[in-house]
Amino acid sequence: MACRRCLKALTRHAPQVLQPSSQSLQPLKSHIQFHSLILQRLTRIWVPRFNPQFFHSHDFSSQSKRPSNSKFTDDEDNASGSGAEDDEETSEKEGEIDGNEERDIGNASGSVIERAYSVEEKIKEAADIGYKVTGQLQRSDRVFKPYEPVFAIVQIGSHQFKVSNGDCIYTERLKYCEVNDKLILNKVLLLGSKSQTIVGRPIVPDAAVHAVVEEHALDAKVIIFKKKRRKNYRRTKGHRQELTRLRITDIQGIEKPGEPSYGKMEKASEKMVEKVAVAA
């Protein structure tokens, strides 16, 4: 491990050793990069106007910083590492050149740039990671149906739940959604009813489970108590985990027994005809 760390440090410092003139220019560089990030959404012409020298030193610093981020476990490096990963995800859409600059800026000031991106794309990406898509806010929709004998196994984050219509589940706190939000959980692993079982490998495509966020709550308090006997060491801490309560309203993707679609249509049309005849 120590040998690997020395090698990474050497490669990190190598470009600075090779190009000592660039050391003085680096703060300027970051400043220019920050401005370019702000103006990125307005014009993308800023990018190719940079000197090619800056680009070469870019590549060295970005490439060598990446492995060091993965090795060290400081908080800053974690934030910058995660910022680098998120910026990489967005960079795939926007182009490699933009991605390099974003990575460097992410390494410089990690969490600030993440919030700047969290308006549209970041929310959707995080929702995909947690396998939920926020639908509309609920107003006066009749969403709560009576119980149907259909179940689904849905995955949220790393937890899997066996859910049915009308169930209530507690999950880890879901960011980017508020109370009375409709959610669609699209990582469905298995659907089952009385007559059918649909097994996904790993997920069932075109299956959706609709849910409504009931509340964001805190779990009951757990007391974390550590003691080493005869060594005068005693620590007490309280912890309340943040949870979200979801109410499952609908499962789509499987034929539900007891509700044949064609039969219902015919009955509805007959009723309509009768009503019209009576009124006339």
Residues of this chain that interact with another protein (CB under 8 A) are 151, 153, 155, 160-162, 189-190, 192, 194, 197, 199-202, 222-227, 234
Nearer to another protein, 82 or 155 (CB): 155
CB atoms under 10 Å from CB of 190, counted, come to: 19
Distance CA 135, CA 222 (A): 34
**What are the backbone angles phi and psi of residue 201, rounded to the nearest 5°?**
-125, 90
Nearer to another protein, 29 or 187 (CB): 187
Distance CA 79, CA 76 (A): 5
Residue 185 is which amino acid?
L
| Smallest distance from another protein to CB 144, Å | 23
| Smallest distance from another protein to CB 161, Å | 7
Kindly compute the dihedral angle of the four CA atoms of residues 123, 129, 135, 137, in this order, to the nearest 10 degrees. -60
| Smallest distance from another protein to CB 158, Å | 9
| Smallest distance from another protein to CB 156, Å | 12
- Cβ atoms of 198 and 153 closer than 8 Å: no
In this structure, what token pair is assigned to residue 268?
């509805």
Nearer to another protein, 115 or 221 (CB): 221
| Smallest distance from another protein to CB 209, Å | 14
Distance CA 98, CA 82 (A): 17
Nearer to another protein, 153 or 248 (CB): 153
Residue 194 is which amino acid?
K
Nearer to another protein, 72 or 225 (CB): 225
**What are the backbone angles phi and psi of residue 213, rounded to the nearest 5°?**
-75, 120
Nearer to another protein, 37 or 204 (CB): 204
| Smallest distance from another protein to CB 278, Å | 46
> Is the sign of the CA dihedral 111, 127, 156, 218 positive or negative?
positive
